[in-house]
Amino acid sequence: DILDLTAIAKGKINLDIGTVDIHSAVRCALDIFKTEIAHKKLRVHTNLVAAEYYARADDSRLMQVFWNVIKNAIKFTPEGGAIHIDSVNDGGKVVVRVSDNGIGIEPELLPRIFDSFEQGVRRVQAGQGGLGLGLAISRAIIEAHQGQVEASSPGKNRGTMVTISLATIVMPFRAKEGEGKGPPSTVPSRGEAQKAQLRILLVDDHTDTVITLGALLRNLGYEVACAETVKQALQLAKESRFDLLVSDIGLPDGSGHDLMRQIRAKQSIAGIALSGFGMEDDLEKSRAVGFTEHLIKPINVDRLQATLREIARKQA
């Protein structure tokens, strides 16, 4: 966050612009928090009904924004509380609103809530840690997209709403073509079918990696669930079956090796280990617990894609 804020202060925020499905970005960000939502017994209501929901944007950066906003809603909403996420169209824009019935924002803090470190005051008052840079970064990212973000709250203990607005574009032709009934002769290619069948559990304690790599894998056509700890990953593996574990080796509450052992004790699963270390001993340890590949960070995307295709081919 500090590095992001430094880049933003220098006007050097980099955007990789493409066509982005805003609804998909929201759902992907929400998916990361399945475990936290279940742990706090939160009720999450989504009503993404905007008819126009495509934008020219950086998908990873938008995922970062939605991740920050949803994380705050979860953090500041008490156990058993409610979070509402909805979308509408307004004057050529898609408007996404994330609201909660949590601790709210006091009137004197509200005008400064998007300033650096101001959110940290709210975190301390709520007994939470953190520097409070997320909303400042989120505002900078949205403004770099010529969008708007604002927060509103009736007051302390009366909940908060964060509203994000982005200009929309006409729905891409391929997306329109996929709506409704397709031609009876339309059959997915073998490669597309293999991707659709490959369910990936992605685990990394670095949030930016989870967001970026998760978005990349989904864009490649794979179904992805994300976790940031061994505990979260084991809970997801308990709830669903996965074909592939893509995991960082160093995790805050254990190791990727421990995680692989525990999941393989319950279900058959292939694995790709991610690590900053790549000595022969490191590779051997990964292979010993069942990882198919051991990729060294920063990840070579071409090699990752080739490994995924090979794993999908073997499982087809």
If DSSP states are collapsed to H, E and C, what string results for 163-202? EEEEECECCCHHHHHCCCCCCCCCCCCHHHHHHHHCEEEE
**Domains with residue ranges and CATH for the chain:** 8-167 (3.30.565.10), 188-315 (3.40.50.2300)
All residues at 6 or more sequence positions from 164 whose CB lies less than 8 Å from its CB, including other chains: 65, 66, 69, 95, 96, 97, 98, 142, 147, 148, 149
Place of tokens 């056509």: 221
Question: What's the confidence (pLDDT) of residue 7?
Answer: 52
- Residue 222: the pLDDT is 86
- Can you tell me the distance from the alpha carbon of 277 to that of 295, in angstroms, rounded to the nearest whole number? 9
Render pLDDT for 9-45 as a digit per residue (tens, 0 to 9). Answer: 455 677 788 889 999 889 888 887 887 888 899 999 9
Question: What kind and span of H or E run contains 287?
Answer: helix 280-288
Dihedral of CA 172/52/25/200: which sign? Answer: negative
- Which residues have a Cβ under 8 Å from the Cβ of 293 and sit 6 or more positions away? 271, 272, 273, 307
Cα 219 to Cα 147: distance, rounded to the nearest angstrom: 23
> Residue 200 and residue 80: Cα distance in Å, rounded?
29
3-state secondary structure of 10: coil
Q: What is the pLDDT along the chain (316 residues), one digit of tens a residue?
A: 444 545 554 556 777 888 899 998 898 888 878 878 888 999 999 999 999 999 999 887 888 899 889 998 998 999 999 999 999 999 999 999 999 999 998 888 888 888 754 454 444 444 444 435 578 888 888 998 999 999 999 988 999 999 999 999 987 654 544 444 333 333 344 444 444 468 999 999 887 778 778 877 877 778 888 888 999 999 999 988 999 999 999 999 999 999 999 999 999 999 999 998 989 999 999 999 999 999 998 787 778 888 998 888 887 7
The pLDDT, as a whole number, for residue 244 is: 95
Q: What is the pTM of this model?
A: 0.62
Q: Specify the DSSP class assigned to residue 299.
A: P
